[in-house]
Homo-oligomer: A and B are copies of this chain.
Amino acid sequence: MTSTVEHRSAHDRTTPAEAVTPRLELDVTRALEGYDALVSTLPGTAVHYAVKANPDPTLLRALVQAGSHFDVASQAETDACLAAGAVPDDLVFSNPVKRRADVVSAARSGVRLFVVDSPEETRKLAEAAPGARVLCRLVTSGEGSDWPLSRKFGCSTGEAVAVLRLAATLGLDPAGVSFHVGSQQRDPLAWRAPIDASARIFATLRADGLRPHLVDLGGGFPAAHEGGAPPLHCYAAAIHSFLGRAFGADRPDTLIEPGRGVVGDAGTVVTRVIAVLSRGDVRWVYLDCGVFSGLVETRGEAIRYRLHTPGLEGPTGPCVLAGPTCDSTDVMYECTPVELPLALAEGDEVRLQSAGAYTSCYSTVGFNGFDPLPTVLV
């Protein structure tokens, strides 16, 4: 009981803003290091930061200053990039299915590069953004990734050829192809099949007299989540090798769309323990942050954050980790329990590391009356 009472006293003091929990601590310098690592490891490849991962305005401004390009999914993201100082030619509008009004607005803003994956969306683009540059997105298996992306988007090699031919007949520029091997992709070999497919598509289109020249290699570059992943240079070496094998000397222009790979390791979600309960033989730890306040990627226990409990030593044991709402689906890790100190008690801090991507932006507007996850720059 003693520790509990001490914690209560601590809570009753007026709390400085930087100590409010839950919060996302975002280290913009660390994100720039992530960006620089990708630039230097993949020379000659344009890095388009995927704004959806974390649209913090300070982060966007810093990335513009560092020379980053951007991957946007909506007009709001386009506007955010332009407001941060990006120029329209630095953007790829990569959502393959877009509101017509968003295409019109993006084209008016000067955006020229769009991804599609269907004849229908190619026609929409030709009407709403005449003469735009087009990438056609290929389907991938998503195998090897913790958050696969393939089911909803992408077309086959043959369909891509048809889409890019259609684009040409509609006055668009059939610039090339795009694919995404799945977020938090642990297997660098995942890039091989879609790069091979890209080369086949390029060869077919070139035989038609078209001039595709750009391959959007997507995202998938990992953050330091549980389970590990190969170092970045292994991804770069694999991609370089696959491009050489597939395209020979006629290597295409390339771009990548990293989100997690830039900002994932730059953020920490700082939470406090609401309660530690014994339910039967199972220890349940309830945090003040959960699935509805930013931890959506724990769904299906897909993304497993590394946990840190500052100042707590001693033995650890398994526990289920749950969020603060009265919704029973607000449980982060149950099938595979996490290891936390046995001394963990109400009021203690639990830090979810490498949580800079897909947290603050995934938060609900306030389910159960709990505020959205705030960002604190550190």
Contacts and interface: CB of A to CB of B under 8 A. Distances in A.
Contacts of A331: 151-152
Contacts of A8: 100, 127-128
Given A4-B124, A277-B97, A77 B368 contact: yes
Contacts of A148: 328
A246 interface: no
Contacts of A366: 55, 76, 361
A346 B73 contact: no
A249 interface: no
B328 A95 contact: no
B75 A4 contact: no
Given A96-B326, A328-B149, A276 B120 contact: yes
Contacts of A76: 366, 369-371
A96 B74 CA distance: 40
Given A97-B286, A121-B277, A74 B368 contact: yes
A150 to B, nearest CB: 7
A57 to B, nearest CB: 13
Interface residues of A, number: 78
Contact of A153 (B152, B326, B360): B326
Interface in A332-365: 334, 346-347, 360-365
A61 interface: no
A11 interface: yes
A288 interface: yes
A152 B328 contact: yes
Given A362-B292, A363-B364, A99 B274 contact: yes
A51 B369 contact: yes
A202 to B, nearest CB: 23
A327 B96 CA distance: 11
Given A95-B326, A277-B120, A369 B52 contact: yes
Quick one: copies of this chain in the complex? 2
Interface in A311-340: 322, 324-331, 334
A288 B361 CA distance: 18
Contacts of A362: 292, 364, 367
A68 interface: no
Interface in A264-292: 274-279, 284, 286, 288, 292
Q: By CB atoms of chain B within 10 A, which of A77, A150, A327 has the most? A: A327
Contacts of A147: 329
A72 interface: yes
Contact of A369 (B72, B150, B329): B72
A101 interface: yes
In the complex, which of the residues A4, A78, A100 has the most CB atoms of chain B within 10 Å of its own CB atom? A100
Nearest to A120: B277
Given A97-B274, A100-B11, A362-B364, A369 B74 contact: yes
A123 B4 contact: yes
A1 interface: yes
B52 A346 contact: no
A118 interface: yes
Given A5-B127, A100-B347, 13 more contacts: A1-B123, A52-B326, A55-B366, A73-B326, A77-B368, A77-B369, A97-B322, A100-B346, A147-B329, A151-B334, A299-B299, A299-B329, A364-B364
9 contacts: A11-B100, A74-B369, A80-B369, A97-B274, A97-B275, A152-B330, A155-B279, A362-B367, A365-B372
